[in-house]
Amino acid sequence: MLENTPAITARPGLIDTDVHNAFANVREELRPYLSRAWQAYADYHGILMPGTGYNSSVGVQREDARTPSGAMAGSDPDFMITDHLDRFGIDFAILTGSHVLGISVHTDPDWGNAVATAYNRNLAERWLGRSPRFRGSIVVNHSDPEAAAREIRRCAPDKRFVQVLMASGSSRLFGQRFFHPIFEAASEYNLPVAVHPGTEGAGTAGAPTPAGRPTRYFEWHNIVPLNFMGHINSLVCEGAFEKFPQLRFVAVEGGLAWLPQLMWRMDKNYKALRSEVPWLRKLPSQYIRDHVFVTTQPVEEPEKSSHFLQILEMINAPGNIMYSSDYPHWDFDNPRMTLQFLPKEWKQRIFHDNAAALYGLAARSA
Amino acid sequence: MHRYPVMKESDLPPGSRKLVHVAGVEIGLFNVAGKVHAYRNVCPHGGAPVCLGKITGTTLPSRVYEYDYGLDGCILRCPWHGWEFDLRTGEHLVDPATRLKKIPVESGGDAAASLENLERFPVESEGGLLCVVLPGGKAGGPS
């Protein structure tokens, strides 16, 4: 079952694929990277992002992860190194940002584009230069794919950026041709395209479910995978992986236990409805195995851990699942406690090898 | 094995289909561009009367967002789930290992069988006969 996946390295290693760098004061920190016109806008409005209206009753930030000066959790690179990377022996942290993913669901694409560039410039200077263990995501505004593609091409030559990242909240499904300029640019640089939740139902995004809006944060958070299923279904059916054979799609923080259901339903329907998508050359589930990656947190926790293993077997994509902690957010998965029941070989892949292969990260020397 | 004459060749012109019952077996006969194919009327997927499905063409493998229609008259779409079978081979287009049960069909027929079994046929003297070949059993005409 585990063939055709990266070779196991000599040492365990640990790569965290969802770590949120943040801002103590987002306006002050992004302001130097905005044009004069957008500085004036930010001075008046702040770094304005649409909200979902859903607020966690335990807050989003871990209370214990505030910086020593009491600032926003995740806002101090040095403290993140000691509080998270050193504490758990993390070789690489894929930084996924804070606050700014809402640019893609803001009504004004020009504002979104301006913030994307400011964010990425700040990230490169303040974080990626601080430690080689920090690896960046090029944040793009998916509501303006041509501009997003330009931003990818601007940032990608800096190899400290290892993926493109955008909001999973959207008014359109990501397989649609509207978004193809993003995939084209990412493919040019062999960069995976990741999506992260948080904007479902915010701004111009569609409602979090096709039947409308959940009532509370708890309910909203439960159903985030629905949106991920929609996007992955769209990417496969629209032929995005045929048109862009290099494209890898990373579904961050959307769970994975729903994958068997999606794969089975897609494969069954394909046997009947193939003629609608004549550009597909293999079963839909195979496109998922070949192109879609998922991060673990918030990992499903069935009563019997053996059931989780059964799900992994059903998905049958041992190279596509990557550990993530979501540090410093409330639903953090501790790498020393999470998925410890996995057989050694699975642990090696999920906690290190799969991310190392996807992001081209060399294992730390022993 | 036994050969069962089922109809005159002229009753199954190109593009047409006939359903026959032979020795308790439902069989669909299809004339695809002059060549006759016969299949059991049971879909290997869900047991549907597959031979009653639409005879059509389909979209051929193509580039993304391109539509290239072809195989007109070669595709049988099952009436229940729409699975596409290539009438020339019986193979499902997605999974060729899933295939219709092919029944050997021969034209001509031997005179003895014809004499024995064609009493219920409105046989005319001219024109060849189509015979299906089924394993075992005694000779019998269409029921």
Token pair in block for residue A365: 């020397």
Q: Which of A237, A267, A271 to mutate to test the interface with B (most CBs of B within 10 A)?
A: A271
Beta strands A321-322; B2-8: pairing state: unpaired
B84/A275 Cβ within 8 A: yes
The count of structural domains within chain B is 2
* pLDDT for B142 beyond 70: no
- Nearest by CB to residue B60, choosing from A271, A278, A283, is A278
- Nearest by CB to residue B61, choosing from A243, A273, A278, is A278
- What is residue A366's predicted lDDT score, i.e. its pLDDT? 37
B24 part of contact set with chain A, CB < 8 Å: no
B64/A243 Cβ within 8 A: yes
- What is residue B111's predicted lDDT score, i.e. its pLDDT? 46
From start to end of A66-176, where are the E strands? Answer: 92-95, 134-139, 161-167
Token pair in block for residue A96: 């996924």
Q: Looking at chain A from residue 1 to 40, which residues have their Cβ under 8 Å from any Cβ of chain B? A: none
Q: How many angstroms separate the CA of residue B37 from the nearest CA in chain A? A: 22
CA distance A335 to A331: 13
Residue of A nearest to B75 (CA): A275
B58, B91: one domain? yes
B24, B94: one domain? no
B95 part of contact set with chain A, CB < 8 Å: yes
Beta strands A92-95; A15-19: pairing state: parallel
CA distance A165 to A98: 12
B59/A273 Cβ within 8 A: no
Can you say how many angstroms the Cα of residue A151 is from the centroid of all Cα atoms in its chain? 18
B1, B27: one domain? yes
pTM of the model: 0.91
- Nearest by CB to residue B83, choosing from A272, A278, A283, is A272
B107, B132: one domain? yes
CA distance A119 to A128: 12
Question: Is residue A138 one of the residues assigned to a domain?
Answer: yes
Q: How many angstroms separate the CA of residue A352 from the nearest CA in chain B? A: 35
Bigger pLDDT: A33 or B124? A33
Q: Looking at chain A from residue 89 to 148, which residues have their Cβ under 8 Å from any Cβ of chain B? A: none
B96, B117: one domain? no
B112, B96: one domain? no
A273/B82 Cβ within 8 A: yes
Let me know: does A271 contact B91? Beta carbons within 8 Å: no
User: In 3-state terms, chain B is what percent helix, strand and coil (to 5)?
Assistant: 10, 45, 45
Question: Is residue B1 one of the residues assigned to a domain?
Answer: yes
B67/A278 Cβ within 8 A: yes
Q: How many angstroms separate the CA of residue A264 from the nearest CA in chain B? A: 15
B65/A177 Cβ within 8 A: yes
Give the ipTM: 0.85
Q: How many angstroms separate the CA of residue A281 from the nearest CA in chain B? A: 8
B84 part of contact set with chain A, CB < 8 Å: yes
Q: Mean pLDDT, to the nearest integer, of B3-16?
A: 94
B94 part of contact set with chain A, CB < 8 Å: yes
A242 part of contact set with chain B, CB < 8 Å: yes
- What is residue A156's predicted lDDT score, i.e. its pLDDT? 98
Question: Is residue A42 one of the residues assigned to a domain?
Answer: yes
Question: Is residue B142 one of the residues assigned to a domain?
Answer: no
B93, B106: one domain? no
A243/B59 Cβ within 8 A: no
* pLDDT for B117 beyond 80: no
Q: What is the domain-level CATH number for residue A231?
A: 3.20.20.140
- Domain extent, residue A237, equals 15-359
Question: Is residue A8 one of the residues assigned to a domain?
Answer: no
- What is residue B137's predicted lDDT score, i.e. its pLDDT? 58
A279/B45 Cβ within 8 A: no
Look-up: residue for tokens 């069909």? B105
- Domain extent, residue B89, equals 44-100
B66, B111: one domain? no
- What is residue A12's predicted lDDT score, i.e. its pLDDT? 80
A281 part of contact set with chain B, CB < 8 Å: yes
Question: Is residue B15 one of the residues assigned to a domain?
Answer: yes
Question: Is residue A10 one of the residues assigned to a domain?
Answer: no
Bigger pLDDT: B78 or B113? B78
The count of structural domains within chain A is 1
- What is residue B6's predicted lDDT score, i.e. its pLDDT? 93
Question: Is residue A269 one of the residues assigned to a domain?
Answer: yes
Q: How many angstroms separate the CA of residue A303 from the nearest CA in chain B? A: 35
B63 part of contact set with chain A, CB < 8 Å: yes
B64/A242 Cβ within 8 A: yes
B60 part of contact set with chain A, CB < 8 Å: yes
Question: Is residue B141 one of the residues assigned to a domain?
Answer: no
Helix (H) / strand (E) element for A38: namely: helix A36-45
- Nearest by CB to residue B62, choosing from A270, A271, A279, is A279
A265 part of contact set with chain B, CB < 8 Å: no
A306 part of contact set with chain B, CB < 8 Å: no
Residue of A nearest to B68 (CA): A278
Q: What is the domain-level CATH number for residue B26?
A: 2.20.25.680
Residue of B nearest to A274 (CA): B94
Q: What is the pLDDT along chain A (366 residues), one digit of tens a residue?
A: 444 444 444 568 999 999 999 999 999 999 999 999 999 999 999 999 999 999 999 888 898 999 999 999 999 999 999 999 999 999 999 999 999 999 999 999 999 999 999 999 999 999 999 999 999 999 999 999 999 999 999 999 999 999 999 999 999 999 999 999 999 999 999 999 999 999 999 999 999 999 999 999 999 999 999 999 999 999 999 999 999 999 999 999 999 999 999 999 999 999 999 999 999 999 999 999 999 999 999 999 999 999 999 999 999 999 999 999 999 998 999 999 999 999 999 999 999 999 999 999 986 543
Phi, psi of A29, deg, nearest 5: -80, -30
Angle at A188 between CA A186 and CA A194, to 5 degrees: 15
Cis ω before A278 (30° cut-off from 0): no
A282 part of contact set with chain B, CB < 8 Å: no
Q: How many angstroms separate the CA of residue A7 from the nearest CA in chain B? A: 32
Question: Is residue A4 one of the residues assigned to a domain?
Answer: no
DSSP string, A176-214: SGGGHHHHHHHHHTT--EEEE-S-TTSTTSPPSBTTB--
What angle do helix axes A109-122 and A36-45 make, rounded to 10 degrees?
A: 100
A243 part of contact set with chain B, CB < 8 Å: yes
Look-up: residue for tokens 């365990």? A12
Longest dimension (CA), chain B: 57
Q: How many angstroms separate the CA of residue A242 from the nearest CA in chain B? A: 7
Torsion angle in degrees (nearest 10) through CA of B97, B100, B106, B110: 120
